[in-house]
Amino acid sequence: MPEKLFFNGDIFGFIDNGILVVVTLYGIYKERQKGGSGVIGGLFGALIGNALSDLVAAVIDPSTRHLAIGVFAGCMYVTVLAYIGLKLFKKDF
């Protein structure tokens, strides 16, 4: 019988993708409610969902807890850059 059923980081992965899928689908749903295609809602749902899910997962998983704030900040930098890019080039999308 195996000594450990799970691997280091698997708690992180499960929580990370679980939160990510819920927030991404919510972003698609909200944009479609407003008459959009769901693409931009999905994009920002995924970006924000990824930042939040990485933060929560890193805090919960003892093997990654020390990285939580830095990972969240890095994710949010990309989210802000994507927002700026969208505002500058929205007509091209």
For residue 59, what are its two tokens? Answer: 């805090």
Per domain, the residue ranges of the chain are 10-87
Amino acid 1: pLDDT: 46
The pTM for the full model equals: 0.79
Q: Where are the alpha helices (DSSP H) in the chain?
A: 10-33, 39-60, 68-89
Confidence check: pLDDT of 74 > 50: yes
Q: 21-40: per-residue pLDDT in tens?
A: 999 999 999 999 999 999 99
Amino acid 51: pLDDT: 95
